[in-house]
Amino acid sequence: MSNQLTPLLDKDRQQLVKIRHTCAHVLGMAVQTLFPETKVTIGPWTETGFYYDFDRLTPFTPEDMKKIEGEMRRIIKANLPIIREVVDRAEIQTEIAELNEPYKLEILESIPETESITRYFIGSPDGGRGNIPEQQPSLINPVLVPPDTCWWDLCAGPHLNFTGEIHPEAFALESVAGAYWQGDESKPQLQRIYGTAWETPEQLQAYLTQKEEAQRRDHRKLGQQLKLFSIQEDAGGGLVFWHPRGAMMRYLIEDYWRNAHLEDGYQFLYTPHVANLDLWKTSGHWDFYRENMFEAMAVEHQTYQIKPMNCPFHVLTYKDDLHSYREFPLKWAELGTVYRYEKSGVLHGLMRVRGFTQDDAHIFCLPEQIADEILGVLNLTEKILSDFGFTDYEVNLSTRPEKSVGSDQVWQLATEALIKALNNKQWNYLEDRGGGAFYGPKIDIKIKDAIGRLWQCSTIQVDFNLPERFGMEYVAADGSRQQPIMIHRAIFGSLERFFGILIENYAGDFPLWLAPIQLRLLPVSDEQQDYAKTVAIRLKKAGYRVEVDTSGERLGKQIRLSELEKIPVVAIVGKREVESQTLSIRTRQGGDLGTITVADLRERFKIAITNKKAF
């Protein structure tokens, strides 16, 4: 399927954002028109559409969804004006209380006193057709009041000027799901209606086609079908069990990763899974990341914390010796397993888990080495991602946020170094001003998969925080003690999530070099079993992953099973093949390739695997 199947959301395209944001309001208006007893909460736009959370005792049914969608089209075709109004905080508080909309009162109370309050009407309050141009757009904080002539929502925008600017055939409601108010399990459970919206019906159809294809490629379904991994609820949610075939693929991925890093001058570390809580207080994780950490444990009157990050361990390893500027850059990498608390409602196969292995690395260098080291990371990232089949990226540069640590000088130095590296790489990038971490600027790389979806994987971050917190030093050329530059980087992000992306990208049809079983020998009868097993032993000794079908099933069923299990190459072994000491080869991509010798098969395997190509 073409990568151009579906246009992806460009967040700079404000028109698409306005369409989706306005659709959320139209949805809210439609629901309260049809079901006046419903309470409304928030309704933001998303990367593929919009949603709105409602408080209603009766669950929305498929028939309700059809009615709501129909009412939305009626509102859109009415071409009602969308009017922005700045309101007095006390007056709007009274109005919301009279409407008995408790969630909107909470939203109002959460808005700082220094900020103005705005609402957007669908339809003029006076019944006219006037329009007040909206101001600078920002994210939504939606809701309501439906008199007969209009409906409104507390909101910061942005929105369209008229509902008729939405194409009535370019949106669709998709599903209903449960959602806790403000994401807090102790608060009321709401009903969230999801929708998608685009500029044209053709874009909508392309998105729906992509969505259907994505369901076919769902890594959770394929993971079970291909016997790759499982999530065992008896052990707990979000914990991955790698089955033999999936574990083989993980071994191949890790082996490739290690070799690539050794060639690039990295050294490896292994660090513990737990540490004294004081370490996480020093690093700042206890203050800034506590809600994502599991509860601490008591060990001999001390408190230990299972690690959510590898970084502090690498810092401690660094501090174990006094380093000279002559040693830099130091490049340390680790496949380090970390554990983070995620609520059960957000766990999702391999994509969102509680225990995962990061392909972590940290580079300690001099200020003048930053640009070259970043360029080196970009080159390594390109090589690794390309070998796994990803050659199309979206690159984002995130700069200094309002709240940050570090001097202006060091921020400017690091940001300019990132820009220089990207320019030397000749990669186009989007700038996210103020989107950097509080401890330093960063580069994020999103890979595009076979059906055009973007996945956040690689990240490169300059860190001014940990070196300062831990008092890291090196001996400079003039004999003084200076603070090193610390660069965090990951290429896969995590092995689990990257594996899930691989499954969906290839739809389980892995390239020969990655396939857990590269060749399956299919004996036509028991008389050919010995020859098949002899061939399998020879190929295994040569380093290939081979198995013999010993099921005793008829050949047709053996072939069908191999197809279902997406085995790249199968070799049919009959009486003729035994007599001629050959194999009849059949591949998933090329079909029947005829009869070849075992020696020829080995050579063709070697070439295909070395070049990471199909057989």
CB 307 within 8 A of CB 292: no
Candidates 53, 64, 153, 360; catalytic one: 360
340 is a catalytic site residue:
yes
369 is a catalytic site residue:
no
Give yes or no for a cis peptide into 329 (omega within 30° of 0).
Answer: yes
Tens of pLDDT, residue by residue over 224-268, are: 999 999 999 899 999 999 999 999 999 999 999 999 999 999 999
Of the candidates 513, 488, 564, 487, the one whose C-alpha atom is nearest the C-alpha of residue 221 is: 564
Candidates 23, 150, 155, 311; catalytic one: 311
Q: Is 275 helix (H, G, I), strand (E, B) or coil?
A: strand
Provide the pLDDT confidence category of residue 131 given band limits of 50, 70 and 90: very low
Of the candidates 201, 199, 147, 211, the one whose C-alpha atom is nearest the C-alpha of residue 22 is: 199
Q: DSSP assignment, residue 45?
A: B
Question: Of residues 551 and 140, which shows the higher confidence score?
Answer: 551
* Beta carbons within 8 Å of 382's beta carbon, 6+ residues apart: 425
CB 466 within 8 A of CB 317: no
How is residue 582 written in tokens? Answer: 């050959």
Tens of pLDDT, residue by residue over 283-327, are: 989 988 888 999 999 999 999 999 999 999 999 999 999 999 999
* Beta carbons within 8 Å of 182's beta carbon, 6+ residues apart: none
pLDDT at position 491 over 80: yes
Question: Of residues 141 and 399, which shows the higher confidence score?
Answer: 399
With 0-12 CB in 10 A as exposed, 13-18 as middle and 19+ as buried, what is 583?
A: buried
- At residue 604, φ and ψ (nearest 5 deg) are -70, -35
Q: Which amino acid is at 497?
A: R
Percent of the chain with pLDDT over 90: 82
Provide the pLDDT confidence category of residue 407 given band limits of 50, 70 and 90: confident
Q: Which amino acid is at 358?
A: Q
Candidates 245, 442, 489, 566; catalytic one: 442
Give just the sign of the alpha carbon dihedral 535, 537, 539, 541.
Answer: negative
18 is a catalytic site residue:
no
Of the candidates 404, 482, 417, 475, the one whose C-alpha atom is nearest the C-alpha of residue 443 is: 417
Tell me the C-alpha distance between 424 and 421, whole Å: 5
Q: DSSP assignment, residue 388?
A: T
What is residue 267's predicted lDDT score, i.e. its pLDDT? 98
Q: Which amino acid is at 432?
A: D
216 is a catalytic site residue:
no
Tell me the C-alpha distance between 58 and 64, whole Å: 11
Long-range Cβ contact pairs of 474-480 (< 8 A, separation 24 or more): 474/322, 474/323, 474/324, 474/325, 474/327, 474/328, 474/364, 475/322, 475/323, 475/324, 475/325, 476/325, 477/325
Candidates 191, 358, 518, 528; catalytic one: 358
What is residue 410's predicted lDDT score, i.e. its pLDDT? 86
Candidates 159, 219, 488, 586; catalytic one: 488
360 is a catalytic site residue:
yes
Tens of pLDDT, residue by residue over 42-55, are: 999 998 999 999 99
With 0-12 CB in 10 A as exposed, 13-18 as middle and 19+ as buried, what is 401?
A: middle
pLDDT at position 280 over 80: yes
pLDDT at position 153 over 70: yes
pLDDT at position 1 over 80: no
442 is a catalytic site residue:
yes
* Bridge partner list, 592: 586
Tens of pLDDT, residue by residue over 266-276, are: 999 999 999 99
CB 559 within 8 A of CB 586: yes
Give just the sign of the alpha carbon dihedral 541, 248, 547, 500.
Answer: negative
* Beta carbons within 8 Å of 446's beta carbon, 6+ residues apart: 393, 394, 395, 396, 454, 455, 456, 457
Percent of the chain with pLDDT over 70: 94
Task: Tell me which of 87-101, 113-127, 363-377, 556-570 is least confident.
Answer: 113-127
| DSSP conformation letters of 531-548 | HHHHHHHHHHHTT--EEE
311 is a catalytic site residue:
yes
How much is the average pLDDT of 173-177?
95
Tell me the C-alpha distance between 458 and 383, whole Å: 12
Q: Mean pLDDT in the chain? A: 91
Tell me the C-alpha distance between 435 and 444, whole Å: 11
pLDDT at position 453 over 50: yes
Q: Is 307 helix (H, G, I), strand (E, B) or coil?
A: coil
What is residue 128's predicted lDDT score, i.e. its pLDDT? 44
Tens of pLDDT, residue by residue over 510-525, are: 999 999 999 999 999 9
Q: Is 489 helix (H, G, I), strand (E, B) or coil?
A: strand
Tens of pLDDT, residue by residue over 141-152, are: 333 433 456 899
pLDDT at position 129 over 80: no
Element (H, E) at 361: strand 355-365
CB 489 within 8 A of CB 377: yes
Tens of pLDDT, residue by residue over 182-227, are: 888 889 999 999 999 999 999 999 999 999 999 999 999 999 999 9
Provide the pLDDT confidence category of residue 139 given band limits of 50, 70 and 90: very low
| DSSP conformation letters of 151-178 | EEEE------SBGGGS-TTSEEEEEEEE
pLDDT at position 137 over 70: no
Candidates 362, 453, 566, 586; catalytic one: 362
pTM value is 0.85
Task: Tell me which of 3-7, 34-38, 411-415, 541-545 is least confident.
Answer: 3-7
